[in-house]
Amino acid sequence: MKRKSVIRFLLTLGLFLPIIAAPLLRAHCDGMDGPVVKAAQKALETGEVRLVLIWVHKQDEEAVIKAFEKTLSVRKLSEQAAELADMYFFETLVRLHRAGEGAPYTGLKPAGRDLGPAIPAADRAVESGSAQDLLNLLSDLVREGAGGQFKEVLERKAYEENDVEKGRAYVQAYVAFVHYVERIYEAAKSPAHAHFPDSESGKATQ
């Protein structure tokens, strides 16, 4: 790579890196310890760009490959250049992946964020090949939530017919309980989508 090309590339890095300081979001794939960056790290270690192409759409492959090749070239210059180049590649890959999800890109998030129990449990299930712990987590949560609200409904149900205020309290608990059950049911019966539009039809694929 010519010296001028290297300088232009490093200047480009200077434009991307400030984005890392963007506010935290409870996203998964934009974390420094997330699956996309891990795949990028492995690709750079092995020199195999194919390891990361699965995370982007076909129409974005060329952009990823070009960024990968530039990164490999710049990495040879110095340790500092390698760090900047790696971060540029991570940024590029995650940005294109997020765009494919139909989600905004708000910068890379630091490793070790609190993602709550669900996402780590889902990842552990995929890694281990067993969903038992994940299912236990979800069922326990639903049992606690639905059971607690159901108990409150029954407690408020026993009110004197002439006591309007207690009757309203019952209705409030009843409506909250029914809405909770409805949300759980609708979420459970409707599979989530990756929001990856088909490259030819433009329709979302699962």
The stretch 158-166 carries a mean pLDDT of 92
* Tally of CA atoms within 13 A in the half-sphere of 23 that contains its CB: 2
Which whole number is the average pLDDT over 57-76?
Answer: 95
Average pLDDT over residues 170-195: 86
pLDDT bin (cut points 50, 70, 90) of residue 27 is low
pLDDT higher than 50, residue 33: yes
**Whether the predicted pLDDT of 123 surpasses 60:** yes
**Residue 202 forms part of a structural domain:** no
Domain boundary among 76, 101, 126: 101
Q: Is residue 205 part of a domain?
A: no
8 A C-beta contact, residue 199 and residue 58: yes
73 or 23: which leads in pLDDT = 73
pLDDT value at 194 more than 80: no
As to burial, measured by CB atoms within 10 angstroms (0-12 exposed, 13-18 middle, 19+ buried), residue 203 is exposed
Domain tally, the chain: 2
In a domain? residue 95: yes
Query: What pLDDT, on a 0 to 100 scale, did the predictor assign at position 48?
Result: 96
CA distances in angstroms from 29 to 115, 152, 156, 194, 202, listed in the order given: 11, 39, 44, 12, 22
Q: Could you give the percent of the chain with pLDDT greater than 70?
A: 79
Last residue of a domain, one of 43, 73, 101: 101
Q: Decide if pLDDT at 18 tops 70.
A: no
Domain of residue 158 covers 118-191
193 pLDDT band (50/70/90 cuts)?
A: low
188 pLDDT band, cuts 50/70/90, is confident
pLDDT above 70 for 154: yes
For CA atoms 32, 36, 37, 38, the dihedral sign is positive
Q: Is residue 88 part of a domain?
A: yes
Percent of the chain at pLDDT above 90? Answer: 61
User: What pTM was estimated for this model as a whole?
Assistant: 0.66
11 in a structural domain: yes
pLDDT at 12: 43
pLDDT at 181: 93
What is the structure's pLDDT at 4? 53
Q: How confident is the model at residue 28 (pLDDT cuts 50, 70, 90)?
A: confident
* Cα 103 from Cα 97, distance rounded (Å): 9
Q: Does 95 share its domain with 122?
A: no
